[in-house]
Amino acid sequence: MNLISSLRIALIALRVNALRSALAMLGVIIGVASVIVLVSISEGTKRAVEEQIASFGANLLIIRPGSSMFGGRHGGAGTADPLTDSDVEAIRNEVAGLAGVSGEVNASSTVVFGGVNWSTRIQGVNPDYFSARDWTIAEGRTFSGAEDQSGRRYVVVGQTIINELFDGADPVGQAIRIGGQPFEVIGTVAPKGENSWGMDQDDIIFAPLNTIRQRFGAGIRGTQRDAVQTIYADIAPGESTGRVIADIQDLLRIRRDVPPGAEDDFAVGSLAEFIRARNETESQLGLLLAVGAAIVLLVGGIGIMNIMLVSVTERTREIGLRLAVGAKRRDVRNQFLIESIVLCLIGGLAGLVTGVGGTLIYAQVGQLDIAIDPMIVGIAIGASALVGVFFGLYPAHRASRLDPIDALRFE
Amino acid sequence: MSALIECRDLVKTYTMGDQTVRALDGVSLDIEAGDYVAIMGASGSGKSTLMNLMGALDRPTAGSLRIAGEELAGLDADRLAAFRNRTIGFVFQQFNLLPRTTALENAALPLVYAGVPAEERRRRALSRLEQVGLGERVDHHPSQLSGGQQQRVAIARSLVNDPKILLADEPTGALDSQTSEDIMRIFDTLNREGITIILVTHEQEVAEHARRQIVFRDGQILEDRS
């Protein structure tokens, strides 16, 4: 028996009991719809997170001093000995698989250009910083390693600075005063906008790390005049994050004389992982929803199985007749299996429509990130067909094992 | 030349609880091609059991059953299905038509399982429906047809695969006497055209149409008269 006749028989059988078929489908409809909503929301969240990560620098490691131990008491984060320029150098030279390494020191100051002033963050960085943090140079250039070393008074400014100090005009080549000292603008960076907690990332000025340390004393604690507050390490594409972190940890433990068995007195963190961890609550919620959707599909499938068993019983004589006129066992099995799959597929398509509608409503009401991916069509069809096969197999098998004589005699 | 149907010492037993019932108790019987046979007997005499065996719906417990040169005793369910499909046409007391399915599709059903293409199925079913006088009602559903018309559809279905043997189990049992007579005349005509017909009936009038009457009792042949 060919597929088209099987499909026709299935559709006729389902139409005869239209209400019953619709009720049996309900579980599949709800199940598929919740899967669609779930996938769209979790895809949306995932994309939002990936966008955040990309704006920070996708493969960025952040290295900071840890807490100090004094008489068995932990100090706060960052209270351990600071990291230094030589740590930056050591990481750059000894850890494989890094695209760039940069120290960072922070200051804040008032910046003056002509009659305008503006208070902002000043970051002292090494040249690798721009690529590591995915800053794109929009105009002009950045400073070189030699200019960093010699403490040249160059700055690269963000979009907010351009807007506030220069009224949006190209600032390259202009002289500004920071904390009363003259600097030359040599470049600008392309805007990044607000980060995920609403901070304006473009309200910033970058300068050579040595310049800031010399001029503003930033990053200097105690006697260590080569201290940096943070080290950023950019992992080269294709390198293992875990391996690079381990290498950096090994290196810094030796350099900082951490005894074997003792805790690290520094922290190596992956920004991507930090952001992902921050979204973990959301993904756990997603897991819960997934379990819920799976349960609904399971219950829906049991409904399908129930209705198929009823259908097999009701049509025992039909099965007997088909066997008598030459249907093989597999013909009967396929007929009922196809009926079950068709039932579920119709439910799946209805669920797809419901799910997309539900997602759009959810996004409207909840103001949440959603992403409706074409793959949900595949998910809807796949999930419902799977339910159809899995829960249709037993009723279909039962139909195919009927004895033709008993089936024909069935009242 | 051997007979179309050869039964040799056929035994069929059923187990009911802890009791074993011998429904057929060593039946030997030949039916020639082109014959017209009525099988009679009280209920439980074994006539239906023999019918099921000759229809390849069931397998004997012991003995040999050859139909058209093929031994049925050892065939599995799917081989029996294929055998029924090409060799046997069934007519039942309760017609057993598929509801909400046209007369044409009902008549064509055996061809679906023979793998005949749709166009040829239609053509052959149509010609059989015309043969039983239902050419005008091929698109009617069973519920729109009278009992006699439904049985005609069933006869068209039994003929559509050009079977060697037509097995009819109380074919007039659900019909009034006038309609019964019409149906029996169709069988008579079919037999004259050469098809072997075996009827199970308990009505003497129906049995009179056959050339040979076999009466069963307690799983054995009581009488076999031509």
Which amino acid, one-letter code, is at B125?
A
Percent of chain B with pLDDT over 70: 100
Which of A202, A233, A264 lies at the terminal end of a domain, its last residue? A233
Q: What is the mean pLDDT of residues A336-342?
A: 92
> Is B113 in contact with A5 (Cβ distance < 8 A)?
no
Mean pLDDT of all residues in B118-140: 92
Q: Which fold has domain B34-57+77-225?
A: Rossmann fold (3.40.50)
Q: What residue type is assigned to position B62 of the chain?
A: A
Please give the average per-residue pLDDT across B105-115, as a whole number.
92
Is residue A188 very low, low, confident or very high in pLDDT (cuts 50, 70, 90)?
Answer: very high
Interface check for A314 against chain B (CB to CB < 8 A): the answer is no
Task: Say if A266 falls within a structural domain.
Answer: no
Band (pLDDT 50/70/90 cuts) for residue A224 is low
Average pLDDT, stretch A269-293?
A: 74
Average pLDDT, chain B: 91
ipTM value: 0.94
Best interface-test mutation with A: which of B113, B143, B160, B200 has the largest number of A CBs within 10 A? B113
Is the pLDDT at A223 greater than 60? The verdict is no
Please indicate, yes or no, whether residues A115 and A229 belong to a single structural domain of this protein: yes
Angle at B166 between CA B165 and CA B168, to 5 degrees: 145
Residue A47 CB: number of other CB atoms within 10 A? 14
Closest CA to A34 of A281, A280, A284, A286: A286
**CB burial class (10 A; 0-12, 13-18, 19+) of residue B39?**
buried
Q: Is B10 exposed, middle or buried (0-12, 13-18, 19+ CB in 10 A)?
A: buried
A7 CB within 8 Å of a chain B CB: no
Q: What is the pLDDT of residue A399?
A: 94
User: What is the predicted pLDDT for the residue at B92?
Assistant: 92
> How confident is residue A68, by pLDDT bands cut at 50, 70 and 90?
low
Lowest mean pLDDT among A196-205, B44-53, B124-133: A196-205
The predicted model gives B61-70 an average pLDDT of: 91
Nearest to A227 by CA among A81, A333, A102: A81
According to the model, what pLDDT value does residue A78 have? 60
CA quadruple A159, A164, A170, A174: dihedral sign: negative
Q: Is residue A310 part of a domain?
A: yes
Asked if the structure places residue A69 within a domain, the reply is no
Examine the pLDDT at B1 and tell me if it is beyond 60.
no
Which amino acid is present at A153?
R
Instruction: State the residue range of the domain holding A400.
Output: 3-51+280-409
List Cβ neighbours of A173 (8 Å cut-off, separation of 6 or more).
A140, A184, A185, A186
pLDDT of residue A334: 92
The mean pLDDT of B120-140, rounded to a whole number, is 92
Whether chain A has a CB inside 8 Å of the CB on B21: the answer is no
If one counts the domains in chain A, the total is: 2
Average of per-residue pLDDT values in chain A: 85
Q: Assess A401–B contact: CB distance below 8 Å, yes or no.
A: no
Q: Which one of A207, A233, A259 terminates a domain?
A: A233
Q: Is A168 a member of any domain?
A: yes
Contact A1 B90 (CB under 8 A): no
- B86 at the A interface (CB within 8 A)? yes
What would the DSSP string read from start to end of A57-92? Answer: -TTEEEEEE---EETTEE--TT-SPPEEHHHHHHHH
A329 part of a folded domain: yes
pLDDT of residue B19: 87
Burial A1-16 (b: 16+ CB within 10 A, else e): beeebbeebbbebbee
Select from A199, A233, A267 the last residue of a domain.
A233
Q: How confident is the model at residue A74 (pLDDT cuts 50, 70, 90)?
A: low
Instruction: For residue A71, name the pLDDT band (cuts at 50, 70, 90).
Output: low
More confident residue, A22 or A217: A22
Closest among B171, B173, B164, B169 to B194, alpha carbons compared: B164
The pLDDT tens digits for A125-174 are 999 899 888 888 999 999 988 998 888 999 999 999 999 888 888 999 99
A253 found inside a domain: no
Of A12, A16, A324, the CB nearest to B57: A324
Same domain, A404 and A290: yes
- Report, as an integer, the average pLDDT of B11-16: 88
Do A392 and A303 lie in one domain? The reply is yes
Q: What's the mean pLDDT in B135-152?
A: 92
Do A36 and A108 belong to one domain?
A: no
In this structure, is residue A248 part of a structural domain? Answer: no
Over 60: is that where the pLDDT of A219 sits? Answer: no
Q: Which residue did the predictor score with more confidence, A237 or A90? A: A90
pLDDT tens, A289-317?
Answer: 778 888 988 999 999 999 999 999 999 99
A39: closest CA of chain B, how far (Å): 42
